[in-house]
Structure 1
Amino acid sequence: MVNEIMQTTRPGASTSSTIKSVVNNLTFRYGDFQALKDINMVVHEKQVTALIGPSGCGKSTFLRCFNRMHDLYPDNHYGGEIILHPDNENILSPNVDPIEVRMRISMVFQKPNPFPKSIFENVAYGLRIRGIKRRSILEEKVENALRNAALWEEVKDRLNDLAFNLSGGQQQRLCIARALATDPEILLFDEPTSALDPIATASIEELITDLKNKVTILIVTHNMQQAARVSDYTAYMYMGELIEFDVTDTIFIKPKNKQTEDYITGRFG
């Protein structure tokens, strides 16, 4: 049924969208703790999908399943599937290399986390891991990534400076450039503006709106106004369950579930 949901109301969005990923009966456990419970959802290609809900509801846990971040810690267990199109591959399969998954699905974290390297080397890091050594190719891809992250004009004359010399907002855009450099199919944002001031937040939100023309985006946010501003689809989660998923305008104007309505209107959460 979720496959039938199409974007029809948000200005600037296409009247229909291709499915990039399908989540089937996804479960996840930290040891004995059941963090996610039978989640079924679709992710639309080159659209922004926001994950909202109270703290501890499973939003970030869900997000990190998409690039197998949980594999980095012991005693974590996936169930169900996340099918990535167009190759129809279950990225949770034990036969799939999580490093390859992370090349296809990049992530930007809550706080800017540049490496203790130059601006150039931060963006080139993933490219070097992929085996790209030719300087001309690295320079071209680094410039493209910085342009796509709306940072090129601010740093083009100081690419050899340490990344730590940038402002907080610039560091976060640098992290976005680093994530974009390897040409990911999906870009994950885990509360990317929570540590930024309002001006830097507005810049990142504008950037997200621009980026969806190039890449599929999933964003976790506690800020419902932000979700309403930047997303095309919204998923409301509670206690590890997906309560409601729909076009963002429907979720915020006329949700079908009373629990979603209570959360959106501030009566709960």
Structure 2
Amino acid sequence: MNNKASGQVGTRPLIGDAPKASVLNLNFHYNTGLHALKNLNMEVPQNRVTALIGPSGCGKSTFLRCFNRMHDLYPGNRYEGEIVLYPDNTNLLSPQVDPIEVRMRIGMVFQKSNPFPKSVFANVAYGLRIRREKDRHLLEEKVERALREAALWNEVKDRLGSLANNLSGGQQQRLCIARALATDPEILLFDEPTSALDPIATASIEELIRQLNAKVTILIVTHNMQQAARLSDFVAYMYMGEIIEFGLTDQVFTTPVKNETQNYITGRFG
């Protein structure tokens, strides 16, 4: 943990580390009329793990999916505010920014593994081919590198042509991580990535996340307080579409500023 930093809510957070992204006055409205996120302000520290915690329905996954414009897939959803990605100061929510390119820069791993009904190789190469990469040697190089980074290469190197669905649950989730890594993302989003896995596979994914944040900034949604404490450097507690408290994980878990945070962490609420 980086003990130099401290978090503030409602202003520009003083996180100490250089930010990879800044969330500025973010609001999100579903096409049903639900105002799901309300004036969020937060910095995402570069090459750190930031956990989003809070009770079900508080807006964690909704917030996460703003980063890679997943909400664009449903007509009528609406963003207000900005998510600025550094160092090029790109507002990811700008209508002038292609959401497909956003998803190349901001990878995502979902709650349940979702390998495509294709070979292991084709799964990992998928994003590269969307980018129209045709050089077979380069594809092979990037696929191998991504599988190594996802700690899966030694298990699948002799069956790259086999269907991805033949892998175990934990292997499929690591394959999805490799698929996200292949396009060299700047931020990697994890939406409860271990909730469907057994303890052994969960430990493997957690160890992988610890290793990955040396090269990529990570945002993770988790309902598991122990997991958030183990994995994250920073944590944001959310409730009813708002960020109640944001700061260093050690600080928030041991001496939270807000009573609402204390009640949630100690199990008196949520």
Instruction: Using structure 2 for the length normalisation, give the TM-score.
Output: 0.95
Q: Partners of 1:97 and 1:127 in 2: how far apart?
A: 16
Q: Partners of 2:141 and 2:58 in 1: how far apart?
A: 41
Kindly indicate whether residue 106 of structure 2 is the aligned counterpart of residue 105 of structure 1: yes
Q: CA deviation at 1:2?
A: 3.6
Q: Partners of 1:90 and 1:129 in 2: how far apart?
A: 22
Ranges of 4+ aligned residues in structure 1 off by more than 3 Å:
none
**How many residues are treated as equivalent by the alignment?**
259
SS of corresponding position for 1:252 = helix
2:3 corresponding residue in structure 1:
none
Unaligned runs of 5+ in 1: 7-16
SS of corresponding position for 2:220 = strand
SS of corresponding position for 2:124 = helix
1:185-224 maps to which residues of 2 (within 5 A)? Answer: 185-224=186-225
Does structure 1 conserve the Cα–Cα contact (< 8 Å) formed by 2:15 and 2:45?
A: no
1:84-123 maps to which residues of 2 (within 5 A)? Answer: 84-123=85-124
Q: Partners of 2:78 and 2:128 in 1: how far apart?
A: 30
Kindly indicate whether residue 14 of structure 2 is the aligned counterpart of residue 4 of structure 1: yes
Unaligned runs of 5+ in 2: 1-10
Q: Partners of 2:35 and 2:164 in 1: how far apart?
A: 39
2:173 corresponding residue in structure 1:
172
1:9 corresponding residue in structure 2:
none
Q: Partners of 1:183 and 1:246 in 2: how far apart?
A: 27
The CA deviation string for residues 76-110 of structure 1, in whole angstroms up to 9 with x for no partner, is 01001101100111111111111111111010000
2:258 corresponding residue in structure 1:
257
2:245 corresponding residue in structure 1:
244
- One-letter code of the match for 1:247? L
Deviates further, 90-99 or 166-175 = 90-99
Q: CA deviation at 1:4?
A: 1.7
Does structure 1 conserve the Cα–Cα contact (< 8 Å) formed by 2:117 and 2:163?
A: yes
Q: CA deviation at 1:153?
A: 0.7
Q: Partners of 1:139 and 1:53 in 2: how far apart?
A: 41
- One-letter code of the match for 2:137? S
2:156 corresponding residue in structure 1:
155
Identical pairs, percent: 74
The CA deviation string for residues 32-58 of structure 1, in whole angstroms up to 9 with x for no partner, is 110000000000010000000000000
Q: Partners of 1:225 and 1:87 in 2: how far apart?
A: 35
- One-letter code of the match for 2:218? I
Q: Partners of 2:56 and 2:119 in 1: how far apart?
A: 35
Q: Partners of 1:237 and 1:155 in 2: how far apart?
A: 39
Does structure 1 conserve the Cα–Cα contact (< 8 Å) formed by 2:110 and 2:193?
A: yes
CA 1:228–1:207 in structure 2 vs 1: closer, same or farther (change >3 Å)?
same
The CA deviation string for residues 180-211 of structure 1, in whole angstroms up to 9 with x for no partner, is 00000000000000100010000000000000
Kindly indicate whether residue 22 of structure 2 is the aligned counterpart of residue 22 of structure 1: yes
